[in-house]
């Protein structure tokens, strides 16, 4: 399977995507224990008794895999949020947009990963080149 086929329907730009079912092995099974309050955006993971009966190393391995997929999905949400903010001030320089986004996230108590600025810049550059390429008859 090539990189384009493995993209989720939520793909934004290179490196900004969410996990897909294509990444799952056929023997993977759903893990019960996740609970979400859709109205206030709160969530919790309460492990089942079956989960807790597994060895500590197994639990660590599983939780690390879940944490990585959550990290990917969270990064996707941060970039999508930045894009929404960016749409309101498209004429503002990128450095100022990032600074304002950092402030908004800080006020909301949202921690940002160290590499977010680089991802935002790459996402914007990819978006510009994709738009430019779609208008260029030679790029079609």
SS (H, E, C) 16-58: ECCCCHHHCCCCCCCCCCEEEECCCCEEEECCCHHHHHCCHHH
Q: Is residue 32 part of a domain?
A: yes
Q: Is residue 30 part of a domain?
A: yes
Q: Which pLDDT band, with edges at 50, 70 and 90, does 36 fall under?
A: very high
Q: How many domains does the chain have?
A: 1
Q: Average model confidence (pLDDT) for the chain?
A: 86
- What's the rounded mean pLDDT across residues 35-41? 94
Per-residue confidence (pLDDT) for residue 63, from 0 to 100 = 97
**For residue 138, is pLDDT > 50?**
no
* pLDDT tens string 86-134: 888 778 898 999 999 999 999 999 999 999 999 999 998 887 656 544 4
Q: Find all residues with CB under 8 Å of 71, minimum gap 6, and list them.
A: 113
- What's the rounded mean pLDDT across residues 46-70? 96
Residue 14: C-alpha distances to residues 8, 9, 17, 20, 67 (Å): 12, 13, 8, 15, 20
**For residue 2, is pLDDT > 60?**
no
The better pLDDT of the pair 47, 15 is held by 47
Domain extent for 115 = 21-131
Q: Is residue 6 part of a domain?
A: no
Per-residue confidence (pLDDT) for residue 136, from 0 to 100 = 43
- What's the rounded mean pLDDT across residues 65-81? 95
Percent of the chain whose pLDDT exceeds 90? 58
Q: Is residue 137 part of a domain?
A: no
Q: Is residue 76 part of a domain?
A: yes
Q: Is residue 7 part of a domain?
A: no
């Amino acid at each position: 399977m090539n990189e384009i086929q493995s993209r989720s329907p939520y793909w934004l730009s290179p490196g900004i995507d969410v996990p897909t079912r294509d990444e799952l092995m056929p023997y993977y099974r759903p893990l019960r224990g996740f609970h979400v309050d859709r109205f206030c955006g709160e969530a919790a993971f309460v492990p089942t008794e079956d989960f807790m009966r597994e060895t500590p190393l197994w639990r660590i391995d599983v939780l690390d895999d879940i944490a990585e997929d959550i990290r990917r999905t969270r990064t996707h949400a941060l970039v999508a949020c930045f894009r929404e903010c960016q749409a309101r001030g498209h004429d503002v320089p990128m450095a100022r947009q990032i600074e304002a986004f950092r402030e908004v996230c800080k006020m909301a108590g949202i921690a940002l990963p160290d590499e977010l600025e680089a991802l935002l810049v790459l996402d914007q550059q990819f978006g510009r080149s994709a738009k430019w390429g779609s208008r260029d008859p030679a790029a079609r």
